[in-house]
Amino acid sequence: MVIAKRVGVDVILWLVVACFVVEGNERARPIAGPDIYEGRNVAKDVLAPGEIINNVMSFGAKPDGKFDCTQAFMDAWRATCKSKVQARVLVPLGRFVVSAMYFAGPCTTPGPVTVQVEGTVVATTDISEYVDGEWLMFQDLSGIKLIGGGTFDGQGKDSWSQTENCETDSDSACVRAPSSIFFSRVNNGIIQNIKTLNPKGFHIFVTNCANIRLRLLKLTAPGTSPNTDGIHISHSINVKISKSNIETGDDCVSMIQGVNNVTIKRLKCGPGHGISIGSLGKYQDELEVRGIRVENCTLVGTTNGLRIKSWPEKYSGLATDISYSDITMENVKNPIIIDQEYQCSPGICQKKPSLVKIANVGFINVKGTTISPIAVDLRCSKQFPCENIQLHNIDLKLLGPILPSGARCANVKPVYGGIQMPPACP
Ligand SMILES: *[C@@H]1O[C@H](CO)[C@@H](O)[C@H](O)[C@H]1NC(C)=O
Ligand SMILES: *[C@@H]1O[C@H](CO)[C@@H](O)[C@H](O)[C@H]1NC(C)=O
């Protein structure tokens, strides 16, 4: 098929480019250059003087929800990225079917490139077309805005039944289903006022990136859809998530190794598996997780609330300087949980302790309702006990029978302040 061939040639081209762009270890955390959006009103989208608008319709796209628009999108992107003057891609109202494709840089425009999606971009359903593992791949870019109020429909339903479970402790490689929006080696990126619906895998995957803003997002998938994490982040520095709503089948936000300086504000999560750090200690030489701030978030009907998880045995790692404040829970199972016996039975786990160290974690002003008798569950590693875990003003009421909620602590001596419901560990 012609389109597949063109994609193939592009991939090779971009791989060659990537070899020059990426220096050193791909797994190393990127170094943050200057944050070009700091102090600017990113909410406002203003056309630059003389900015060229590359409407995908002018490149042959058809908004009928049937025609394969991949080539048209690729051509519109190329015209935009290779422009010497400021330019943007416009996807107008309508349904545009698009297969796996790259929005790859580096670009030659003087300022950040904008991709403005007003309509709905619909993924093809034949999973064999996703040879590079993701759907829309934004890669090797310095300055990119993905905006416009439109929707990315991953059409994941058919593929969910074939999704492999990647959360097992087996070392065999697990094939992830394609993420809808994939940001890799992006510096200064904004995804704003965008919806994603029913991704095959993650809604948004951010890796090897720096200075990323994710705002006003609405990510939606059924609570039963497998591995549909809302925002999954690895090997990235300076990520700000705010004013978003995530309803999905897995973690609303998941952060794994190499994540540094992430703030999450005014996020509403549920259904879903909550806001997670980890699972950590799965791979050799994992980079630490450091500097995570979660503020003013609401979790509704999630299976976990605020969770840090690591595998028993396996590999070493570190998670530190993490704070959760002003969090509201409604009907949440496991509202506060540190689980260093991940996928192993609590209390009777026969495996060796986790080699991941967890330190300097604050839970401040966490209130609401829980459906689990153990509302605060802190199970740390016997070999590397948790250090400086603070609990301040925790008020979690158990729904249903008039029973007080409880707490469990292992290999941790939390520092308590203010109200404690459940009562502090003995
Ligand atoms: C962390 O992010 C804040 C803004 O959220 C920024 O001011 C600060 O410089 C960042 N720290 C590093 C080490 O980049
Ligand atoms: C965050 O929540 C606290 C407590 O509910 C409130 O005082 C504060 O104004 C909130 N901040 C924002 C930015 O919404």
pLDDT bracket for residue 33 (50, 70, 90): confident
From atom 9 of ligand 2, which residue's Cα is the shortest distance away? 296
Q: What pLDDT sits at residue 400?
A: 76
9-25 per-position pLDDT tens digit: 343 333 333 333 333 34
Domain boundaries, the chain: 1-23+47-159+177-250, 267-426
Q: Which residues line ligand 2 (CB under 6 A)?
A: 266, 296, 326
Tell me the best of 240, 295, 326 to mutate to test the pocket of ligand 2, counting ligand atoms within 8 Å of each CB and taking the most.
326
The 3-state secondary structure of 4-56 reads HHHHHHHHHHHHHHHHHHCCCCCCCCCCCCCCCCCCCCCCCCCCCCCCEEEEH
Mean pLDDT of 215-242: 97
pLDDT bracket for residue 42 (50, 70, 90): confident
Q: What pLDDT sits at residue 9?
A: 35
Minimum mean pLDDT range among 10-24, 165-179, 293-307: 10-24
pLDDT bracket for residue 27 (50, 70, 90): low
- Res. 383: pLDDT tops 50: yes
Please give the number of the atom of ligand 2 that sits closest to the Cα of 266: 14
64-89 per-position pLDDT tens digit: 999 999 999 999 999 999 999 999 99
400-410 per-position pLDDT tens digit: 765 778 999 99
Q: What pLDDT sits at residue 172?
A: 64
Mean pLDDT of 43-55: 93
Is 232 one of the annotated active-site residues of the chain?
no
- Res. 140: pLDDT tops 90: yes
Q: What pLDDT sits at residue 51?
A: 97
Q: What pLDDT sits at residue 268?
A: 98
β-bridge mates for residue 218, sequence order: 195, 245
Minimum mean pLDDT range among 115-129, 341-355, 358-372, 373-387: 341-355
Percent of the chain with pLDDT over 70: 91
CA-to-CA dists, residue 326 to 41, 217, 241, 293, 295, angstroms: 25, 21, 16, 11, 6
Residue 242 CB less than 6 A away from ligand 1: no
pLDDT bracket for residue 212 (50, 70, 90): very high
408: CA distance to ligand 2 center in Å?
29
Minimum mean pLDDT range among 108-122, 172-186, 398-412: 398-412
Mean pLDDT of 326-333: 97
Residue 293 CB less than 6 A away from ligand 1: no
146: CA distance to ligand 1 center in Å?
22
Q: What pLDDT sits at residue 199?
A: 98
Average predicted confidence (pLDDT) for the chain: 91
Residue 35 CB less than 6 A away from ligand 1: no
Q: Do the domains 267-426 and 1-23+47-159+177-250 match in fold?
A: yes
Number of H helices, E strands in the chain: 3, 26
Cβ within 8 Å of residue 194, ≥6 positions away: 117, 146, 147, 148, 149, 150, 151, 152, 181, 216, 217, 218
- Res. 351: pLDDT tops 70: yes
Cβ within 8 Å of residue 369, ≥6 positions away: 329, 330, 331, 332, 396, 397, 398, 399
CA-based nearest residue to 103, from 184, 214, 210: 184
CATH class, domain 1-23+47-159+177-250, is mainly beta
From atom 6 of ligand 1, which residue's Cα is the shortest distance away? 238
Q: What pLDDT sits at residue 170?
A: 65
- What type of residue is 294? V
Minimum mean pLDDT range among 17-31, 158-172, 305-319: 17-31
Topology of domain 267-426 in CATH is Pectate Lyase C-like (2.160.20)
35: CA distance to ligand 1 center in Å?
9
Mean pLDDT of 152-166: 89
Tell me the best of 42, 238, 241, 288 to mutate to test the pocket of ligand 1, counting ligand atoms within 8 Å of each CB and taking the most.
238
- Res. 348: pLDDT tops 70: yes
Q: What pLDDT sits at residue 160?
A: 94
Mean pLDDT of 261-265: 98
Q: What pLDDT sits at residue 165?
A: 77
413: CA distance to ligand 2 center in Å?
29
Alpha-carbon dihedral sign for residues 361, 367, 371, 374: positive
266-278 per-position pLDDT tens digit: 999 999 999 999 9
Q: What pLDDT sits at residue 29?
A: 63
pLDDT bracket for residue 134 (50, 70, 90): very high
CA-based nearest residue to 280, from 312, 248, 245: 312
